[in-house]
Amino acid sequence: MSKIELLQVGPYPAWDEERLNATFTMHRYFEVPDKAAFLAAHGTGIRGIATRGELGANRAMIEALPKLEIISVYGVGFDAVDLAAARERNIRVTNTPDVLTKDVADLGVAMLLAQARGMVGGESWVKSGDWARKGLYPLKTRVHGKRVGILGLGRIGFEVAKRLAGFEMDIAYSDTSPKDYAKDWTFIADPVELAARSDFLFVTLAACAETRHIVGRKVIEALGDQGMLINISRASNIDEEALLDALEKKTLGSAALDVFDGEPNLNPRFLALDSVLLQPHMASGTVETRRAMGALVFDNLSAHFQGRPLPTPVL
């Protein structure tokens, strides 16, 4: 009996691909030179998509697969999946929540500390010989005890806030409504007001059409020339042109970013800035978390095709 055919939209670690290849016929879409021709020739046999958070599945891909039943996302963010197109045909969608939450929060806090205390520059100061030639490294910025804003107090934002409570921070958050699990922290509905009362502003919102560019010129201006923006969500939550303008004009103090428009081909204006910490979308990038994410992708696909309940359904 032939194996069920899946479209693999992006690469996975070897341990995931071995397991998937043993159970399914995996079409490695990301290696196909002529993708339109491939879908036209093979699309009718494909019953599932295995994708990644940042790659998703757009309407054209979904509509090229007439027998598509499920889209399994390796990541918690499903914003790159056309949910409307999936709903129209009752296509199931799954993601990998919870298993990555704490690693993402860990990196967010690490990015804050690294940027505020100048750790990347500090290593260059040592390795370049500047320490011996120029003397003491320039003073940087305190983190503990300062004001932090969390834009989006979902699972990841909550874990970030928990960690920062350990740094005796003055914590406020913005979300659609006050959260009963956040009684120790200040609820501020308006992102501009949240930014105005923050030294550090984390963007931890799940990205969607409604959150696009929620961090725009007004929020960035309110954060100000001593403020720091940390983004571990999606680039789409930030107006990158406004961010770059503010960083170049020094009307925003600094930024620490793990996600970018057009990644991995980010805007070259970022590369000319010394006030930004740039990370390669690696917030969930630990062996432990990625093993758990890959297992969930496989478990969701297997459950669907075996007629069992899906472990982590979105649709």
119-128 long-range contacts, CB within 8 A, separation 24+: 120/277, 121/274
Total length of the chain: 315
Residue closer to ligand 8YV by CB (options 47, 52) is 52
Per CB under 6 A, does 155 bind ligand 8YV? no
Beta-bridge partner residues of 148 = 171, 200
* Binding to ligand 8YV in span 87-146, by CB under 6 A: 100
Does residue 264 have a cis peptide bond before it, meaning omega lies within 30 degrees of 0? yes
**Is residue 290 classed as helix, strand or coil in its secondary structure?**
helix
d(CA 50, CA 301): 8
Residue closer to ligand 8YV by CB (options 95, 302) is 95
Q: Minimum CB separation from ligand 8YV for residue 20, in Å?
A: 15
Per CB under 6 A, does 284 bind ligand 8YV? yes
Q: Minimum CB separation from ligand 8YV for residue 282, in Å?
A: 7
Q: Minimum CB separation from ligand 8YV for residue 97, in Å?
A: 8
d(CA 213, CA 253): 19
Catalytic residue among 52, 281, 290, 304: 281
Residue closer to ligand 8YV by CB (options 74, 173) is 74
How far from each other are the two terminal CA atoms of the chain, in whole angstroms? 29
Indicate if 234 belongs to the active site: yes
Residue closer to ligand 8YV by CB (options 146, 155) is 155
Cβ neighbours of 19 (radius 10 Å): 16
Catalytic residue among 69, 117, 263, 269: 263
Indicate if 281 belongs to the active site: yes
d(CA 116, CA 112): 6
Binding segment (CB under 6 A) for ligand 8YV, from list 107-115, 128-136, 241-249, 281-289: 281-289
Residue closer to ligand 8YV by CB (options 52, 92) is 52
Which residues, in sequence order, are CB contacts of 106 under 8 Å at separation 6+? 163
H helices of 117-216, in order, are 119-127, 130-134, 155-165, 191-196
- Are 76 and 207 within 8 A, CB to CB? no
Instruction: Sketch the per residue contact string, 66 through 85, with ligand 8YV: x for CB under 6 A, - otherwise.
Output: --------xxxx--------
Q: Minimum CB separation from ligand 8YV for residue 50, in Å?
A: 11
Phi, psi of 85 (to 5 degrees): -65, -35
Catalytic residue among 234, 240, 290, 304: 234
Question: Total number of residues binding ligand 8YV (CB under 6 A)?
Answer: 11
Indicate if 89 belongs to the active site: no
Residue closer to ligand 8YV by CB (options 31, 34) is 31
Residue closer to ligand 8YV by CB (options 75, 227) is 75
Q: Give the sheet arrangement for strand 147-151, strand by strand.
A: 186-187, 170-174, 147-151, 200-203, 228-231, 254-257, 276-278
* Binding to ligand 8YV in span 40-69, by CB under 6 A: 52-54
264-270 long-range contacts, CB within 8 A, separation 24+: 267/240, 269/244, 270/244
Q: Minimum CB separation from ligand 8YV for residue 218, in Å?
A: 26
The tally of CA atoms less than 13 A away on the side-chain side of residue 231 is 29
d(CA 242, CA 240): 5
Q: Minimum CB separation from ligand 8YV for residue 284, in Å?
A: 3
User: Contact residues for ligand 8YV (CB under 6 A)?
Assistant: 52-54, 74-77, 100, 281, 283-284
Catalytic residues: 234, 263, 281
